[in-house]
Amino acid sequence: MSEMPPFSGRVAVVTGGSRGIGRAVVLALAREGAHVAFSYRKAAKDARDVVHAVERLGRRALAVASDAAQPDETEDFVQKARTELGRVDIVVANAGIAGPAGWEAVSLPAWRETLETHLVGAYSLVRAARPHFPVAGGSVTLVSSISGLVANPEFLPYSVAKAGMLSLTRSLALALAPKVRVNAVAPGWVRTGMTAPLHESASSRETLRRGIPRGRWGEPDDVAAAVLFLASDMARFVTGETLVVDGGGSLRWRAGVAD
Ligand SMILES: NC(=O)c1ccc[n+]([C@@H]2O[C@H](COP(=O)([O-])OP(=O)(O)OC[C@H]3O[C@@H](n4cnc5c(N)ncnc54)[C@H](OP(=O)(O)O)[C@@H]3O)[C@@H](O)[C@H]2O)c1
């Protein structure tokens, strides 16, 4: 008899699942047995393709156009997931935007959009999902970044938002204990649309690759594997933690060692 996949019968809610890391997370969860509701902002065709890919795996999928920066839309998204798929066990706050925004030039609207998408977005998602977690418990994973662990004046609102998500992870882990575990992943350089200008240029791709001890850029599936671990029973005694997924790229500066 074949074994049941680990997330069989569970329902996951993922923001920003149409492309990149979020897409990989949606498909990885579905491969492991979960039905998945995911949001997207603009990429309707990509979202439809993800729905079909989940359905080909034999799971149910729901794609909802919902702006992570708008708490009301997030509330509706989670409610739809609950109504259509019946429950909410796993939550992944992944939706994000990035763009260079140097500390002097960054505009107030850019500050607001970045903080509201990442930080208010993650908070609103957890607040909307909280009443739906089963008595047996659930899990939340926030997709932060190594940018949240380092000073980054060239991407100021982004790194502040990602640092805020790490603080939010720890506070929510306490607030939602003992029923719900809350953790974060902090990816390094990952090949997605967000980083296309860097990995599509041979020189910046190679310069950044040389700084990664594992010898290659990260792929969306590398991050999805870490999210899967944190959402799984293997991480049943882990909460409030940040798992860095960067091929060792931040080891030197995280240890306080200069190049
Ligand atoms: N790539 C990296 O190197 C890297 C490193 C560290 C952390 N991260 C983080 O990983 C997460 C995913 O990034 P990625 O590289 O996969 O980016 P991506 O390829 O640009 O994909 C971003 C996804 O988020 C969605 N999204 C963006 N803004 C949204 C909003 N306001 N509401 C709902 N959905 C929204 C997009 O939907 P539409 O396409 O429909 O607009 C898309 O599905 C982000 O939080 C990012 O900060 C990425």
| DSSP per residue, 70-114 | -HHHHHHHHHHHHHHHS---EEEE-------B-TTT--HHHHHHH
Q: How confident is the model at residue 28 (pLDDT cuts 50, 70, 90)?
A: very high
Whether 67 is in the pocket of ligand 1, judged by its Cβ within 6 Å, is yes
Number of domains comprising the chain: 1
Is residue 86 in some structural domain? yes
Query: What pLDDT score does 2 carry?
Result: 65
* Cα-to-centroid distance, 22 and ligand 1 (Å): 7
Active-site choice (18, 139, 162, 250): 162
Is residue 3 in some structural domain? no
Q: Give 142's strand partners.
A: 93, 184
* Cα-to-centroid distance, 87 and ligand 1 (Å): 25
Whether 195 is in the pocket of ligand 1, judged by its Cβ within 6 Å, is yes
Is residue 4 in some structural domain? no
Q: Cα separation of 112 and 170, whole Å?
A: 23
Is the pTM higher than 0.85?
A: yes
Whether 39 is in the pocket of ligand 1, judged by its Cβ within 6 Å, is yes
Is 259 a residue whose pLDDT tops 60? no
Q: Tell me the residue range of the domain where 128 lies.
A: 11-245
The order of strands in the sheet holding 138-143 is: 61-65, 35-40, 11-14, 90-93, 138-143, 180-187, 242-245
* Cα-to-centroid distance, 46 and ligand 1 (Å): 13
Q: Cα separation of 217 and 201, whole Å?
A: 13
Is residue 192 in some structural domain? yes
Is residue 203 in some structural domain? yes
Domain containing 21 — which CATH number? 3.40.50.720
Is residue 209 in some structural domain? yes
Point out the least confidently predicted range of 45-54, 55-64, 91-100: 91-100
Q: Are 125 and 81 in contact (CB under 8 A)?
A: no
| Residue to mutate (ligand 1; options 49, 64, 97, 169; most atoms within 8 A of CB) | 97
